[in-house]
Structure 1
Amino acid sequence: MEIAETLSENVMKVLKARYLIKQDGKQETPDQMFRRVAKTVAIADNEYNDFNIVESEEKFYKLMKNFEFLPNSPTLMNAGATLGQLSACFVLPVEDNTSSILEAVKTQAIVQKTGGGTGFSFSKLRPEGDQVGSTGSVASGPVSFMQLFDKCTQVIKQGGKRRGANMGILSIEHPDIIEFIEMKRNNMNLDEQAKIMKEFNISVAITEQFMSELRNDENHKFINPRTGNEVLKCEDCGKNIFLNDKNIFDVCKLCGGNPKRIKAKELWEKIIQYAWECADPGLIFIDKINNSLSNPVREHFTIESTNPCGEVPLLPNESCNLGSINVVKFINATNDDIDWNKLRESVRDTIHFLDNVVSVNKYPTNEIKEMSHNMRRLGLGVMGFADLLSKIGIKYGTEKSYQFARNLMKFISEVAWKMSEDLAEKRGTFPYWDKSDFAKTQKRVRNVNCTIIAPTGSIGTIASCSPGIEPHFALVYVRHSRIKERSEEFEELHHLNEFFKEVLSEKGITLDKEKILEISKNGGSIQDITWIPQTVKDMFPIASDLSGEKHVLMQSAFQEFVDDGVSKTINLPNEATVEDVNKAYNLAYNTHCKGITVYRDGCLDLQVLETEKTKNLRESKNAEGAHILSGGYIRPEYLIGRTYRFTYNNSGLFITINKDENGVPREVFIERGKSVDEEKAAYEGMGRLISIALQSNIDVSSIIKTMRGIQTKNISWHQTKGNSIPIRSVPDAVAHALADTIHNEQVEVINNEQEVKVNISKTEEKINVKKQCEMCGENSLIHSEGCSKCLSCSYSSCG
């Protein structure tokens, strides 16, 4: 019987859209796909002459045909095809120069075109405001460069079959880490085209030093990766302050604010808050990773980043090919345990398969080929774990389930390493073996790593099993999948847990449409549904039925016996609190986990897996979005503001700035006396654009910096508190008003229509204290951006 005859409609849709090769107008069958892959991978045996190639091909084919094992998607797509690129995971280096950045973008495009996902560490890029060369210009920082990588992915569709995926990582020590943590915070309120970094998962690389600072309530040190020097933050605008030529910290060049250090606790709370709001950033415990089995060559190389889902820490220019054993296929005859002998043989065969993939792979670049061959990293994991627990009667999230997970992974790991040793006897060790911990104990192995737990979203769908080690997401749900030909639109694939349906049928309960809808409206959970027996409820807990703690403990249980990392999303219900996220992140650090990602149901406006409950939540938020102003800000009924009056070019200039309940500027209105229609339109347009920027949470100080100093031939002097300040243009006046708004510490309620004179803050005075210019004699000399500048004759001490 052809496999296609046994597969569901959903599985065939996915296979036809992404995996089955078309040639001469005909599309291969699933049988032919598995045969193509098995034949290509078995060819590597010819190089070593250690296995019978015909027997290997047949073993590989049966493993896949019976859905006992599936390799990662690029292997299924590309083995035996023109591309021939078989790895799913890559990490690419990004050094602190334009050449390296552009080379990384180029390689990213090549990798994603062949079906791979890419990870990057941006921690080596100099921070925003740092010096660039000898030109006197300043760096824009890693967050701005990341958007270049994001745009690249948006125009590259993986292998012509799926969109690319990325991981962006920044060290907690980097001075721009706050901007990194906050950059995706407003995506929920923006149109799809306006979303920031939508093709990236982002994670903060957490060090042991930072966790020590957090425990002891200490200040955190930011380090400039270019110089190794500490960087402080401006207490007013939050921007970076660097050591000056005299090796001391000066006041902020932007606003004159004083430098300060930030508590580790403040950074941690920001991470937790935005993970709760928008599921980013996650964490990777970078020191844990480098001091673990992930990096046996740590004395020579340092891991800085991971693949897009975070479970595969890799060296720069390294790749990894993954494969997963469908453990539900290995239940014994009495349905109460694993058939361990059958599993042993399959683990040995799959390690053989994956090692062959390293050899036959057509790598995107020579650098990646060299590093991948030198390491020969394998990623054997599991899928179908939740299905397995349901069928053998162990409730997910109990101590019994954690112990079963440890026993299962310990067994797989031991068998995998034994097979790697056997392969080394015939094929030799991985080339960097002599640089590794294995050489110290003379343990000769073929591979630097053997085991990884991948998410298996796509191949889990093909195998019709629960993904990776995750609990059932829901018993009734919809998967949004981009499988429409020549379209980026999502298609809805409806799923009902078939084993759940069988169990109910055995108890005389028929799942009709009304019952299915009731479960879906309950978020896919059956725990509160009265007509379902308790014994069935215990068999089928779903992700949102479990506390964050139970999710983390399962991840930790597997991680004890996994060489590299474990992909596990800490799924939380929509009503979960910020403190729930905090507890999960702390528990992950204090157990065996190497990283963590949380996802609070409904926190994004689109999610891949969705129930009727989540859909209703999302649609209610979209309804609220009808009142969202351009840029994503939801305007309340009224705002409190003040109107500043300037005199510019012999006429009145009125600038109104409205602030929200937190004192954050949100609206700017500009009016000018004696202005004609064209001028009024220009001022209204300027006000609207600034308002959109403010409503989109663009940093106010950045707007001030952009507009301050814009100069026309007309300069007016505005008198305030016995001092004069130059008003060089209308944008310059807006900058002065905004600066006063964010720096004025006095709290008072002012009616909307009330006008107030400009009250230049101490910060403003510090920047604009005028001295006599030695060139023209006018009292117009100020200190700005490290130079003495005359506002009358344009003299500058910097030339």
Structure 2
Amino acid sequence: MTTTASPSTRRNNKTTVDGSSRGLTIGRVFTTEGQHPYDEVEWDHRDVVQTNWKSGEVVFEQKAVEFPKSWSVNASTIVTTKYFRGAVGTPQREASLKTLIDRVVKTYAKAGADHGYFATPEDGEIFEHELTWMLLNQYFSFNSPVWFNVGTPSPQQVSACFILSVEDSMDSILNWYKEEGFIFKGGSGAGLNLSRIRSSKELLSSGGTASGPVSFMRGADASAGTIKSGGATRRAAKMVVLDVDHPDIVEFVETKAKEEDKIRALRDAGFDMDLGGKDIVSVQYQNANNSVRVTDEFMDAVVGGNPFGLRSRADGSVIEEVDAQNLFTKIAEAAWGCADPGIQYHDTINDWHTNPETGPITASNPCSEYMSLDNSSCNLASLNLLKFLRDDDTFDAELFVKAVELIITAMDISICFADFPTEPIAETTRNFRQLGIGYANLGALLMAMGKGYDTEGGRSTAAAITSIMTGASYRRSAELAAIVGPYNGYARNADAHQRVMRKHQAANDDLRVLPGDRGLHKVASREWDQVVKTGAKNGFRNAQASVLAPTGTIGFMMDCDTTGVEPDFSLVKFKKLVGGGSMQIVNQTIPRALRKLGYSEEQVKAIVEFIGGHGHVIGAPGLAHEHYEVFDTAMGQRSIKPMGHVHMMAAVQPFLSGAISKTVNLPETATVEEIEDVYMQGWKLGLKALAVYRDNCKVGQPLSDGGKKAEDKAAVKAPEPEVRIEYRPKRARLPKSRSSRTTSFSVSGAEGYMTSGAYDHGGLGEVFLKLGKQGSTLSGVMDAFSIAVSIGLQYGVPLESFVQKFTNLKFEPAGMTDDPDIRIAQSFMDYIFRRLALDYLSFDDRADLGIYTAAERARYVETGSYLSEEDESEMSEADSLRNTDFDNFNVDGARQPSLLEAHTTAELMESLTGHDIDAPLCMTCGTKMRPSGSCYVCEGCGSTSGCS
């Protein structure tokens, strides 16, 4: 690969404002004069092929696309399938990253020149090259609408986030449906506050009773679901907010929780109720995130145990009083049951509002990071923080500042040529010019620096970097105001805007930074000092500057290990390979972190190998216990505690114009009281919004407690250590003649046969699988797998251990089966072991695993019990036979310990089984998505349910 000089060595030239209105003077920071950025990297050509997750049919293929060699296969695949324009197979189809970047950057550069941003044409050219270099080298990315639309014949839509408004009239409500539809059609998301709509406890002018906002939510939800199902991409996200003093607040809070109960009942009756399932359309309110807007008055009433008034929408009078603590508990109970509603802190949000004279902030975008005026929008861009880490593992603050000021300039230019879905949104956005710069890869950055996410050191670094980012953004905004003028709404809101800038500066002054971050804090202090001084003189070009978005698809485009402000999700990931397929790899940030912590190359290799085999660092050879926290992740053996997420959000929130898209993950065992505490602490710590997710609270999630139960059983059964040492396993072979059963099955149209043989006492002893043609690779692999399972069974590994490990294993083919007891299978393995559980395990063992027959599920819906009265009366006698631990007796009839008890194989398998949390299946490729902020993102194809 062609090597280039480090950007850090090219910072003598500066991007400056010369004090007049003739434009920006742009100096070279990343590029070299006389050399185009494209000439600094080595390129290659790749074939991008995607197949249907159910049928295996090729659904996308484009050969010989051109990307830098340094870009991963995953990044190039996502860019090719998502962002390249033109019909595949035609000359108009884009086939190179160069074409894509040129389409966008040249549009920005031309608009900047046309609107007077640059002092000379040469400055415009340098701007174009600098922006190209940063995109080419994955230093930052614009949000997805920019890549979709800019430079194409389509409307030049650049914003990802929208806030709408609705009034208490039928015209306005129907217009809400229409505006949302247009926004969803374009693949973006919108949010709004329904609190102006009269409650169901108030009268209409005609004398009748109003329907209330929840009833109108039903129509909007159906509309969103219809547009989603008719589109080529996954549905756009949607947020619905209701004020806590609205008379219908309890109905709103309980809406999705009640629907989740309905989903469970239908699921148990055999319907396909997974997210994206064909029967999920029978329930309501599933296309939106819900949030309650709480005030300081309400939270004070909760703390004080006081009553709280619910107010008429017509005249503001109190029409009902409720117990504030009881209502707060209802909010937490609903969130415990289905993850909705989230919470937004109204007074905190508006205390940091730069435009209160124009109107309050009442709502947010779907992911809760963009909060501004009604009928407005925001375009996003995110920096890849890991790119600014020097070779000595220190953060290059000055280079970061240069990148921020260039990106903010580009983002502001985009508003000059952008198109918008409605005229009210266009007018507000052009008058206030809201921007949303942010970052990704914070989790990876902290790990590489040897800092734990949930530590003072991690929070200190994150806060300082965020302060630099927003400070540099507003400083550049004030400089732009001197050239192209402040935003139109500034004059009316000048005092408020400057007050908020001083609040940011004061928060920076009060920031408690650790010694290693003092250099970062010094840069942040310098930037905020210039913000206040320059802003007082020039005003500001932008009402808002920064947010922390999910960075789903664009995070993959930048090859980021972590999204947004999130910690690392897990220490082991899957990497897509050239030519198809994938492999499991240990995060590449881990070796760098270990070297930073002082480990030798030999130690690094041993620890990485351990992590690759176990998925966590507990017990890694030579790794000091005090370093475990550096490798804590969102999920898994050492998951970050819920308040660890809250404290990180609190550390960075004072340095953001908007808020943070992030979900606080809680274990399945979390209580309602713990969720109440998270919501209460979020208010006390000054957050603007919070969302929570309790593991396994939603239907469709793979069984998450199976591993815990296996560990508990192993702990109970485990013999003394000396018994382990003396034990030698014996194989209980099947008799020459034994009973067997053969099952034919089909998973997503792919057929197979399974033959299972049993001991005389009825226990399973062997399995044979026939998949694929004789002599094929698949057939050979299944033969070998069958032998391995059969030997394990004969040596005493309980069938339930295999079922725990192989159910919910996900790979193609997956989907509908022809088995009435198992409607949906994640893979052949998932189906096979569910079928074996139904055929050979007792009811109690199956119930522990959550596996029931269709008849049992239907009976539960009707009676509340999976068993009939006759079944229950016979259970005692039947279980005495079926639950005998035959697998733990040898041929002589003497009991022997099982392999699960005697060896650590099962423990290793357990550690390799990821701790999964609920997420929808990707509508594009069928892969299970993972959380990204308060949204979801697909690691297979880059589809996102969020905004970026």
TM-score (norm 2): 0.58
Trace 1:747-766 onto structure 2 (pairs within 5 A). Answer: none
- The answer as to 2:486 corresponding to 1:391 is no
The one-character-per-residue Cα deviations of 1:157-196 (angstroms, maximum 9, x if unpaired) are: 4984332101110010111111111111142515222343
2:339 is aligned, of 251, 274, 279, to: 279
Question: 1:211: Cα distance to partner?
Answer: 0.9
Flag the 1:493–1:435 CA change in 2: closer, same or farther, 3 A. Answer: farther
CA gap of 1:99–1:58, structure 2 versus 1, over 3 A, is same
Match of 2:629 among 535, 538, 544: 538
2:865 is equivalent to residue 636 of structure 1: yes
Q: Is the 8 A contact 1:548 1:580 kept in 2?
A: no
Question: Can you list the C-alpha shifts for 1:743-789, whole angstroms capped at 9, x where unaligned?
Answer: xxxxxxxxxxxxxxxxxxxxxxxxxxxxxxxxxxxxxxxxxxxxxxx
* 1:532 to partner: Cα distance: 6.1
Q: Hey, what does 2:651 align to over in structure 1?
A: 557
Structure 1 residue 552: Cα displacement: 0.6
Aligned to 2:558: 463
Q: Is this contact kept in 2: 1:91–1:316, CA < 8 A?
A: yes
1:228 corresponds to 2:288: no
> Structure 2 matches for 1:201-240, cutoff 5 A?
201-232=289-320
- Report the CA distance between 1:132 and its aligned residue: 2.8
**Partner of 1:196 in structure 2?**
284
SS of aligned partner of 1:55 = helix
Paired position in structure 2 for 1:309: 367
The one-letter code matched in structure 1 to 2:106 is K
Aligned residue-pair number: 593
Give, in whole Å, the separation in 1 of the partners of 2:538 and 2:852: 62
The amino acid of 1:421's aligned partner reads: A
1:359-392 Cα distance to aligned partner (Å, 9 max, x none): 1211111111100011101111111111111111
Q: C-alpha separation between the residues in 2 aligned to 1:593 and 1:27?
A: 43
After the TM superposition, which residues 58-77 of structure 1 pair with which residues of structure 2 at under 5 Å, given as runs?
A: 58-77=129-148
Between 80-89 and 179-188, report the one with greater CA deviation. Answer: 179-188
Kept after mapping to 1: 8 A contact 2:607/2:621: no
Q: Could you say which residue in structure 2 is the equivalent of 1:764?
A: none
Deviations 1:99-139 (A, max 9, x none): 111111111111122222100111111112432331x4322
- Cα distance in 2 for residues equivalent to 1:401 and 1:625: 49
Q: Secondary structure at the match of 2:156?
A: coil
For the pair 1:353 / 2:413, whether they are aligned, the reply is: no
Call closer, same or farther: CA 1:503–1:129 in 2, change over 3 Å.
closer
Question: Could you list the per-position Cα deviations for residues 403-462 of structure 1 after superposition, in whole angstroms to 9, with x for gaps in the alignment?
Answer: 111211111122111111111110100000012123785551100011111111221122
Q: Deviations over 1:610-635 (max 9, x none)?
A: 99979979957763695545997881
Ranges in structure 2 where 5+ consecutive residues have no aligned partner: 1-41, 44-66, 267-272, 274-279, 500-535, 595-600, 709-803, 809-847, 870-948
Cα distance in 2, alignment partners of residues 225 and 630 from structure 1:
46
Map of 1:656 onto structure 2: none
Contact residue 503 and residue 536 of structure 1 kept, 8 A: no
Give 1:473's match in structure 2, choosing from 556, 569, 578. 569
- In structure 2, the partner of 1:181 is 253
* Residue-by-residue CA offset, 1:196-226 (whole Å, 9 max, x unaligned): 3222111100011111211111112111213
Larger CA deviation: 495-504 vs 348-357: 495-504
Deviation string, structure 1 residues 287-321 (Cα, Å, up to 9, x no partner): 111121xx212123011100001111121110001
Q: Which amino acid aligns with 2:662?
A: K
Question: Does the C-alpha gap of structure 1 residues 503 and 590 become closer, same or farther in structure 2, counting only changes over 3 Å?
Answer: closer
Question: Does structure 2 retain, via aligned residues, the 8 Å contact 1:474–1:611?
Answer: no
Measured after TM superposition, the shift of residue 464 of structure 1 is 2.0
Q: Residue in 2 aligned with 1:597?
A: 691
Which residue identity lines up with residue 394 of structure 1 in the other structure?
K
Q: 1:5 to 1:281 in 2, by over 3 A?
A: same
Alignment of 1:264-303 (within 5 A): 264-292=324-352, 295-303=353-361
Aligned position for 2:547: 452
State which drifts further: 185-194 or 497-506.
497-506
1:496 Cα deviation from its structure 2 partner: 5.0
- How far apart are the structure 1 equivalents of 2:339 and 2:862? 20
SS at match of 1:197: coil
Match of 1:416 among 448, 473, 478: 473
2: CA distance between counterparts of 1:610 and 1:9?
31
- SS at the partner of 1:183? helix
Query: Structure 2 vs 1, CA of residues 193 and 516 (structure 1 numbering), >3 Å: closer, same or farther?
Result: farther
Query: 2: CA distance between counterparts of 1:633 and 1:515?
Result: 47
Classify the secondary structure of the residue corresponding to 1:162.
coil
Q: Partners in 2 of 1:609 and 1:66 — Cα distance?
A: 41
Matches of 1:61 and 1:612, distance apart in 2 = 49
- Specify which structure has the bigger relative contact order, considering alpha-carbon pairs within 8 angstroms and separated by 6 or more residues: 2
**Is this contact kept in 2: 1:4–1:12, CA < 8 A?**
no
1:74-85 matches, cutoff 5 A: 74-81=145-152, 82-85=154-157
- Residue 78 to residue 631, structure 1, CA distance change in 2 (3 Å): farther
AA matched with 1:623: I
| Inter-partner Cα distance in structure 2 for 1:70 and 1:613 | 39
Matched, 1:548 2:642: yes
- The answer on 1:29 being equivalent to 2:89 is no
**Which is further off, 25-34 or 265-274?**
25-34
Name the residue aligned to 2:510. none
Q: Retained in 2: the 8 A contact 1:75–1:86? A: yes
5+ residue gaps, structure 1: 233-260, 481-490, 520-524, 641-799
**Structure 1 residues 478, 581: closer, same or farther in 2, change over 3 A?**
farther
Change (3 A) 1:502 1:415: closer
DSSP-derived class of the 1:169 partner: strand
Q: Is the 8 A contact 1:17 1:161 kept in 2?
A: no
Distance 1:492 1:155 in 2: 34
Amino acid at match of 1:343: F
Determine if contact 1:628/1:634 at 8 Å carries over to the other structure: no
**3-state DSSP of counterpart to 1:409:** helix
Matched, 1:588 2:663: no
Q: In the alignment, what sits opposite 2:851? A: 623
SS at match of 1:359: helix
Counterpart code for 1:12: S
Distance 1:129 1:77 in 2: 45
- Quick one: structure 1 residues 607 and 119, their matched pair in 2 at CA, closer, same or farther if it must change by over 3 Å? farther
C-alpha distance in 2, partners of 1:394/1:348?
A: 27
Aligned partner letter, 2:345: F
Question: Separation in 2 of the partners of 1:65 and 1:610?
Answer: 41
Aligned to 1:16: 80
Change (3 A) 1:541 1:375: same
1:262 alignment partner, SS class: strand
Deviations 1:25-52 (A, max 9, x none): 2343333222222122222212332323
Letter of the 2:149 partner, please give it.
Answer: N
- Residue matched to 2:223: 152
Change (3 A) 1:315 1:340: same
**TM-score, length basis structure 1:** 0.69
Could you tell me whether the CA contact under 8 Å between 2:335 and 2:692 is conserved in 1?
A: yes
**CA-to-aligned-CA distance 1:315-358 (integer Å, 9 cap, x gap):** 111000111111110012311x2111211110111111111121
Q: Which of 660, 663, 667 matches 1:569?
A: 663
3-state SS of 1:6 partner: coil
Give deviations 1:570-610, integer Å, cap 9, x for gaps: 12222323222222111110012111111123322357999
Q: 1:625 to 1:174 in 2, by over 3 A?
A: farther
- For the structure 1 residues 328 and 512, does the alpha-carbon distance in structure 2 shift closer, same or farther, using more than 3 Å as the test? closer
Q: CA separation of 1:168/1:621 partners in 2, compared to 1, >3 Å: closer, same or farther?
A: farther
Q: Is the 8 A contact 1:548 1:581 kept in 2?
A: no
Other structure's SS at 1:288 match:
helix
Give secondary structure in 2 for the equivalent of 1:507.
Answer: helix
Compare 218-227 and 199-208 and name the one that shifted more.
218-227
Whole-Å separation in 1 of the counterparts to 2:104 and 2:362: 32
Mean Cα displacement is larger for which, 261-270 or 13-22?
A: 13-22
Q: CA deviation at 1:553?
A: 0.8
Structure 2 counterpart SS, 1:446: coil
Alignment RMSD (CA, Å): 3.3
Q: Per the alignment, in what secondary structure is the counterpart of residue 242 of structure 2?
A: strand
Q: How far apart are 1:95 and its partner, in Å? A: 0.9
